[in-house]
Amino acid sequence: MEQNRKKELLGLFGNPIINFGNNSLVFTRQSLEDANEIETFESLKLIEEWKSLVWMNEIYGCFSLNDMQRISLIEAEIDTRKDINKEELKLWYKEQEKKFKENDNQTVGV
């Protein structure tokens, strides 16, 4: 992954902190170590993690800012991989979204 892109994605999501007297609550975000780890993933592991996070956050709708940042980092790494078919991933996304919507519509009124 390009270093400038990595730093940009890490910075976009911020690092919110809430102070309580002498204590601070820091919300989890991806770190430089996480981004570096993503770069070491084999392509199959990268795809599996992307699918899992995208399904939960974008299709199912259980949104996590930390996961969305990780998805962005994974997608930036996927873009650098010539052995990953991006069109297949787009097709997978559309199929999963369609399946979810069809199943969701079947449960309406139950």
- Provide the residue-wise pLDDT of the chain in tens; the chain has 110 residues: 888 888 888 887 766 667 778 876 666 688 889 999 999 999 999 999 999 999 999 988 888 888 999 999 999 999 999 999 999 999 999 999 999 988 876 654 44
In sequence order, the β-bridge partners of residue 17 are 26
Distance CA 63, CA 70 (A): 12
Distance CA 87, CA 10 (A): 26
